[in-house]
A = this chain, B = another copy of it.
């Protein structure tokens, strides 16, 4: 396969669309697109099957630009192959409201499969996509009906391979033999600080061999034949593949090629002109797409358009041959939940001893899993602690890919990225468990789930000092606040077993972002709902459990999770002392914020200034709900290693303390009134 003139010009078209766009924006990253244009060209014109008219076709090959800073490479490919991304958008690269932001954004630009830029994330997303596809294939494919049999391709960079999340995900992919994953490594020897020799001298191929990958090296990114042969070998190999492609960052730039300057700066007029001269490209017009090049790209995308059309026929026949499977596939692809799911939620009897909310979560998950074949998930090596397993079902293994319980290993960050990849694939609702404190380990992936608006469910157990003896290293303090601060994140910290059931429902019903469930290790009472308001209130984020005592309440006690039982005890003693108290369970700030102001003011009437919030975590942010006069009782220090009740006592999280603070508060507030 010799590179002919048309191919050469097609590749240069990619290079200079990218370079022209960066130069025009006076901002961006020309180096990767110029160096890897040949590889992208080959992938998109010869190997990948996709249909620009149907960017969500379930069996499309996926392309992940893990090195998201090379966004112009992707935008150029999407434009040239016929996606709804006109040249005008390329000219508006990095401008307000364009479809060509600095880094590719899922949901904004058709054909962008995942939001990338923060390094290593795309790498893990692709692993998740491949796992999800293999899982869907195992469930849905039937003889002569290969509904799902696509590949996941990606371009990864030095930075991606340096990030820990990529290491975790690579080890995972090797273990699970995700053979349809093919990454092309932009081995350009340059990172921002200079030559990779300054800090990145490991033997990458050997490292990936050790993970169980198929590795193959290509000496020259512009040698289409060698790249092609490597891709073909990768397609055949049962292991995930890393193709190490020696490339030249900023290929063609007279002085900046092979330097860090080519990475993330506009080339400048002189360099840009020099590159065009070097590669035999007209200096003007900018954003040149020769007619025959455009025809060539459109022609090459015909393979995918035809594959999509053939697949539609296949799918119609499948509907007749396997109507139940077809119906399941159809529903789950839309993301809709089955009707009347609420009726499947377990109902927990009132019980003063109660159970840990992680335990009621496990029971709820198991009840829902029966109705929701699209639920798939696991734990980062804390299955028994997180209660994330689905009883009676074996775990997913290389041999049993239809199973849906995933042993992620002690790889929280990869778990986060893989969950995102599963959600991006479609047709599945992923969940993953670890201790709340280790949400920090996966935070960059959690943030991207928020940014992308992905329905991912995090099962974060051991959610406070209530985990006891493991001590401060394992006791979350700042994590609830840190999660709540992320836009689009829903945090739910249910107060008893029935709130847990509704929290799962809320998580499933929230389609525009992830939900973090914060769950206790320790038992909490299951409230008597004949005495208190129904647990459906959970769906509104906060609700009045009860107004206790005689007359209008003087005081609002509010709490989340394990502290709901605590404020109820405090309220009872206040009632005994003659006070009237409103008790509010407050499992989710975000759900409460979404209610009409009238509801919010019903629950927290503005005239009621005497308010106390209790949460066994940093008080950070709670002032908003208790107001100037109110009090927040929490934990603004690191915890302690001891049996958990002793820690609660030692840190003043007791009903007695809440009651005495309440009485002092009522006195202060009434003094002010007087």
The CA of A383 and the CA of B640, in the complex, are separated in Å by 39
The CA of A120 and the CA of B207, in the complex, are separated in Å by 18
Known: A101-B472, A101-B640, A204-B210. 10 other contacts (CB 8 A): A68-B473, A95-B642, A101-B641, A162-B409, A163-B441, A192-B384, A192-B385, A440-B444, A478-B486, A478-B487
Query: Which candidate, A195-203, A361-369, A658-666, is the interface stretch facing chain B?
Result: A195-203
User: A650 with B96: in contact, given A211-B202, A487-B637, A641-B101 (CB under 8 Å)?
Assistant: yes
Is A118 an interface position by the 8 A CB rule?
yes
Task: Judge whether B193 and A202 touch: CB under 8 Å.
Answer: no
Q: Least Cβ distance of A643 to chain B in Å?
A: 8
Task: Judge whether A485 and B482 touch: CB under 8 Å.
Answer: yes
The CA of A116 and the CA of B473, in the complex, are separated in Å by 7
Task: Judge whether A474 and B200 touch: CB under 8 Å.
Answer: no
The one of B102, B158, B385, B409 in contact with A641, judged by C-beta atoms closer than 8 angstroms, is B102
The CA of A575 and the CA of B193, in the complex, are separated in Å by 47
Within 8 A of B (CB), among A472-507: 472-474, 477-478, 481-482, 484-488
Task: Judge whether A447 and B478 touch: CB under 8 Å.
Answer: yes
A191, A450, A642 pick with most chain B CB within 10 angstroms = A642
Within 8 A of B (CB), among A185-223: 191-194, 198-207, 209-212
Task: Judge whether B641 and A381 touch: CB under 8 Å.
Answer: no
Task: Judge whether A477 and B487 touch: CB under 8 Å.
Answer: yes
Chain A interfacial residues counted at CB < 8 A: 108
The CA of A481 and the CA of B621, in the complex, are separated in Å by 9
The CA of A201 and the CA of B174, in the complex, are separated in Å by 8
Is A145 an interface position by the 8 A CB rule?
no
The one of B191, B212, B407, B450 in contact with A198, judged by C-beta atoms closer than 8 angstroms, is B407
A95, A102, A474 pick with most chain B CB within 10 angstroms = A102
Is A358 an interface position by the 8 A CB rule?
no
The CA of A164 and the CA of B121, in the complex, are separated in Å by 12
The CA of A206 and the CA of B209, in the complex, are separated in Å by 8
Contacts of A164 in B (CB 8 A): 120, 163-168, 411, 413-414
Task: Judge whether B201 and A175 touch: CB under 8 Å.
Answer: yes
Task: Judge whether A410 and B163 touch: CB under 8 Å.
Answer: yes
Is A620 an interface position by the 8 A CB rule?
yes
Is A242 an interface position by the 8 A CB rule?
no
Task: Judge whether B200 and A171 touch: CB under 8 Å.
Answer: yes
Contacts of A451 in B (CB 8 A): 472-473, 638
The one of B171, B207, B441 in contact with A210, judged by C-beta atoms closer than 8 angstroms, is B207
Contacts of A171 in B (CB 8 A): 162, 200, 202
Q: Least Cβ distance of A304 to chain B in Å?
A: 28
Query: Which candidate, A39-47, A128-136, A557-565, A623-631, is the interface stretch facing chain B?
Result: A623-631
